[in-house]
Structure 1
């Protein structure tokens, strides 16, 4: 995980203005890095840049479909890591590269900040890091001040330091694999935002425990939802029960083991054989490997909690949340009303 307190040395910072090239907006590049003499401003900038990453646990890496060396941002960052005197020149190259990819009609122009942190920590390792941050939206602030013994009100246009629009941290580790890269994008769900991660940065997710956990969780959910009901007579209560058991496994275990999971959650030999077959099908379909054993990532499990929905939706009248003992709920059919029903058994009502 990334913490603001671990970024203490903002040694270089430069700012460029990157417009939308398709809209004929200009690219304006600074001639030299910013001189940060005020410690308060430096700390505010560090908070502005790093705070959005504190809840981000997944990492990416630079790649290129032909050869990693052809990834332009990877090359610019490598030159900076090799020689800090290259910082300003390569920051301009980064700005030009972003400008080239800022062609979608909805992409907003904004300030591009390139920062160099000489010391920071990632996963317990102290390394240098390069930050690439973009602010696209501006806010209006009220300014209350004293003038001639009377308070006055005015307004200013500025950047909200609690709302970084786009950011990327590149850590100087694992260079041969495309570095360790963390990304934030406040509008990532919008199609025009794809240019930041896919076109500008060209990154792909690292095959680490976070990625493995997330992939395994999705595979297990799809197996229970889609595969099992086609092979066995299962009602929704049984499906929810298996989802609860799966969720408990990922929350309570530190290590995922395929055999262990199959025995604990599924139990039946035929279901276990079907699960292993489905794992192979899933890997081929989605081109994602799920090892027999890997370390379970707690942040990935937390993010994927919504996958294990233990809810029965009955028409538009009722939602039943099932969290525990499968034996405490029974399904039946009432011939008098020609309707299905559930019988719930409990000891105490709160």
Structure 2
């Protein structure tokens, strides 16, 4: 979790980056932005840092060769951290690197802001941070003001909404040898070809394999296993699948640590299904080169995130939704020959 109660904005440089594939150019400023108005830094802090308050996933900068010196962002972030006098020079090189990878026609041009912050907190550490942000979408704003015993109306085009950061990343001055700690936001370019350029081509990130990601990945794998894989090997109703998902969520909420054998015994129950899940998990680890331990600390934040997508709703045509939160033995499925329709019988003690 990122917080910025004590943070301050030390310096900021602004450049423009066009789309190389459309023969657009980039424009570099000659010096950092001079912030004369006291309100502007506060607005910029809100614009740049507030979106990261809900960021849970932490990444590292990387390079496919495993040589961090070849990651451009790592090189120039280190330059700025180690010699603040070279901050603006580093920001220019960062802008050039973004231009080099902006070669898909769906990538929008925009302003690139490179900022240096003090005392931004992540995981209990207050650190210096280099922030890299890009604004791509502009809006039109109306301005209403008093005029001649009434009001006048004006507008401003191509303005930036400070409540909508398009793209950004924060590089924290810690764990340099691992690629620093990095959090990232990307709210635009949802098409698959253009979306990869910010995280994969520009920043070159790998996700940190901590308790959050171990928990998040295990819950995702188990959800896919129940909803997609089990049908290949076992006959199960949707109500039984929902029960398996509910039991897994209960396990992760109540336990402090995950143990795959304990999980298999308490949640899955069927030995054959347990072995199938372990094989499914192994194939995921191999395919995505993401090892997941058989034992790890459970992250409450990851559980809360996954709870939003764990569905306990049984949808019946367009007429009924049954929410199953407890004992699935209190719901029975059958078939009515006279009506030629399926039915569910639900047992309960009292209405609430």
| Fold equivalence (TM over 0.5) | yes
What is the CA-CA distance between 1:150 and the residue it aligns to? 4.2
Query: How has the CA–CA distance of structure 1 residues 284 and 86 changed in structure 2, closer, same or farther, with 3 Å as cutoff?
Result: same
CA contact (8 A) 1:15 1:112 kept: yes
Q: Could you list the per-position Cα deviations for residues 218-239 of structure 1 after superposition, in whole angstroms to 9, with x for gaps in the alignment? A: 2212222334343333222211
Match of 1:282 in 2: 284
What is the CA-CA distance between 1:188 and the residue it aligns to? 4.9
Q: Counterpart of 1:309 in 2: which secondary structure?
A: coil
Q: Counterpart of 1:5 in 2: which secondary structure?
A: coil
Match of 1:36 in 2: 35
CA contact (8 A) 1:63 1:202 kept: yes
Q: Distance in 1 between matches of 2:202 and 2:278?
A: 38
Query: How has the CA–CA distance of structure 1 residues 222 and 122 changed in structure 2, closer, same or farther, with 3 Å as cutoff?
Result: same
Match of 2:25 in 1: 26
Q: Distance in 2 between matches of 1:170 and 1:198?
A: 15
Q: Distance in 2 between matches of 1:103 and 1:280?
A: 36
Match of 1:182 in 2: 183
Matched, 1:162 2:166: no
Match of 1:261 in 2: 263
What is the CA-CA distance between 1:90 and the residue it aligns to? 0.7
TM-score by length of 1: 0.93
Match of 2:51 in 1: 52
Query: How has the CA–CA distance of structure 1 residues 151 and 231 changed in structure 2, closer, same or farther, with 3 Å as cutoff?
Result: closer
Instruction: Identify the range of structure 1 (215-224 vs 52-61) with the bigger mean alpha-carbon deviation.
Output: 215-224
Q: Which aligned pairs between 1:294-333 and structure 2 lie closer than 5 A?
A: 294-333=296-335
What is the CA-CA distance between 1:296 and the residue it aligns to? 1.8
- Size of the aligned set, in residue pairs, is 349
What is the CA-CA distance between 1:254 and the residue it aligns to? 2.6
What is the CA-CA distance between 1:262 and the residue it aligns to? 1.6
Query: How has the CA–CA distance of structure 1 residues 223 and 106 changed in structure 2, closer, same or farther, with 3 Å as cutoff?
Result: closer
CA contact (8 A) 1:4 1:47 kept: no
Q: Counterpart of 2:245 in 1: which secondary structure?
A: helix
Q: Counterpart of 2:351 in 1: which secondary structure?
A: coil
Q: Could you list the per-position Cα deviations for residues 261-307 of structure 1 after superposition, in whole angstroms to 9, with x for gaps in the alignment? A: 12221234443333333333332233321201112222222222244
Q: Aligned-residue CA RMSD in angstroms?
A: 1.9
Q: Counterpart of 2:85 in 1: which secondary structure?
A: helix
Instruction: Identify the range of structure 1 (337-346 vs 144-153) with the bigger mean alpha-carbon deviation.
Output: 144-153
**Which ranges of 4 or more aligned residues in structure 1 deviate by more than 6 Å?**
none
CA contact (8 A) 2:4 2:119 kept: no
Q: Distance in 1 between matches of 2:148 and 2:29?
A: 39
Q: Distance in 1 between matches of 2:169 and 2:233?
A: 45
What is the CA-CA distance between 1:99 and the residue it aligns to? 1.3
Query: How has the CA–CA distance of structure 1 residues 101 and 150 changed in structure 2, closer, same or farther, with 3 Å as cutoff?
Result: same
Matched, 1:71 2:76: no
